[in-house]
Amino acid sequence: MRFTTGMLVCLTLGTSSCAVPNPYYDASKAHHTPTGFKANYRAPCTDLTGSFLKWQWQRLWQGFPPKKPQQPIVGVTPQIAFLQHNITQPSVTWIGHASLLVQVNGLNILTDPVFSERVSPFAFMGMGAKRQQAVGLPFKQLPHIDVVVISHDHYDHLDLPTVKALYAQQGGAPQFFVPLGINDWLKSNVTHGHDEHITALDWWQTVSYRGLELQFLPVQHWGARGLSDRYRRLWGAWAIYHPSLRFFFGGDFGWSKDLADIGQRTGGFDLAAIPIGAYAPRWFMQPQHIDPEQAVQAQQALGARQALAMHWGTFPLSDEPLDEPPRLLAEAVQHAHLSIDNFWVMKHGETRVKEGDVWRVVHE
């Protein structure tokens, strides 16, 4: 595990981006660079590789994982019949990690879909972080997917076998909404050069699609899939707007003023999917991953009435035990004098449906 997970992170961190021209470069936009993109409020880390090696050295001496889960993470049986036939009620199902099935306006939307057993460039060799919990909703039992949104190109958010399978799904390919640059990656690796099912957006751009509005939003993170493409393709979060649901999907991010900017410019959300895991050790992860305390602050900054916890309990990507994030989240909610009902911890496979302003768990 130490080698395979380390290999994944090392390849994702890579080295400094090669001087390949950015085809989307716009000198009037501060987050554009001639060779890629940069964050709004934090300078790119220039020594990710050195910090990663320090982290791995600490693991060698301290052991990994430093603590094992206190109790198993148990999923639930997915409500397949409901999901296959629901065309009227907004709903959200946690598949695992950052993969969610969102249903709104009769459309089925997948966020950062990952159905593979491992997340790694060498998954086919049995290398990389291995899934610790079963997929909450098996791929073959998905309803027909209409929309896929991708937040960034790290392997635990952009999974090649999964997007290939979605593009080839029975009934026709979904529409892929992606950051600038990932459209070219999809054309090269998935769609055989075709782009009619791909829509690429820059930060703050909005597009209408079948009764929805989708907006791509800035967050503090970065992207890469190899040794030389760090910051080459854009990253971000997604907002999905409909009269029955205003939904925020965070993807993956560290703390920054971007969150308050989003809350102020969008007017807030009914529900926000916010990452709570992959935060340890903080000296290394803080610029790129929030912790549970910051997740509560993020909900407030975004102006989200309710939030759901994601990006935890599925893949062992960092040093905290897989079951620790929900415990720290509960403490953070209590310290903020909020109700835990406003920041859900869902089980793998769990579905919640929106009825007015209330969300209820779907049972058989």
Of the pLDDT bands very low, low, confident and very high (cuts 50, 70, 90), residue 226 is confident
Give me the sign of the Cα torsion angle 113, 115, 119, 124.
negative
Of the pLDDT bands very low, low, confident and very high (cuts 50, 70, 90), residue 83 is very high
Written as one string, the DSSP assignment of 4-38 is HHHHHHHHHH-SSPP----TT--TTSTTEETTEE-
Residue-wise pLDDT tens digits, 156-212: 999 999 999 999 999 999 999 999 999 999 999 999 999 999 999 999 999 999 999
Cα–Cα distance between 176 and 166 in angstroms, integer? 10
pLDDT for res 186: 98
Domain positions in the chain are 2-18+51-361
Which range among 167-176, 199-208, 256-265, 315-324 shows the weakest confidence by mean pLDDT? 315-324
Computed over every residue of the chain, the mean pLDDT equals 90
- Please, are residues 318 and 334 in contact by the beta-carbon 8 Å criterion? no
Burial 307-328 (b: 16+ CB within 10 A, else e): bbbbbbbbbbbbbbbbbbbbeb
Q: What share of the chain is helix, strand, coil (3-state, %, to 5)?
A: 25, 25, 50
- CATH number belonging to domain 2-18+51-361: 3.60.15.10
Predicted model pTM: 0.91
Of the pLDDT bands very low, low, confident and very high (cuts 50, 70, 90), residue 50 is low
Residue-wise pLDDT tens digits, 97-144: 999 999 999 999 999 999 999 997 765 555 578 999 999 999 999 999
Written as one string, the DSSP assignment of 235-256 is --EEEEEETTEEEEE--S-B--
Cα–Cα distance between 73 and 261 in angstroms, integer? 35
pLDDT for res 67: 67
